[in-house]
Amino acid sequence: MARAMSPLGDSNGNPLQTTGIESHNKDVELLRVLVSRKGTHVDAQWVIHPQLKQDLLPQEWQEVTDLMAKVTGIVGTRFSQVLTQADPEPPSNA
């Protein structure tokens, strides 16, 4: 989950010392990757916050789509490998 934070900070990313100003943190989910399993089938999906999708230019959206296809492929493959090692299929009688 991404965390939206106040942009106050120095050039090194350290928060500035403020007096009398409260900083408020708000959690905002911008992107979610979901990996699910049905038997031996592993499915990886992703979703992006609707406002973020709307704010992207078509070229940026295509770039995000291409990158997330790679991410879900990597995550899904790794999840499948871990499941195979942890829960191998029982031998069949066929």
Q: Note the pLDDT of residue 65.
A: 93
Q: Which amino acid is it at 49?
A: H
Tens digit of pLDDT for each residue in 39-81? 778 888 889 999 999 999 999 999 999 999 998 888 888 888 8
Secondary structure (3-state) at 10: coil
pLDDT for position 33: 86
13: left (phi over 0), alpha (psi -120 to 50) or beta: left
pTM for the model stands at: 0.56
* Residue in the block written with tokens 């709307």: 54
E-assigned strands of 1-94? 2-4, 26-28, 31-38, 41-48
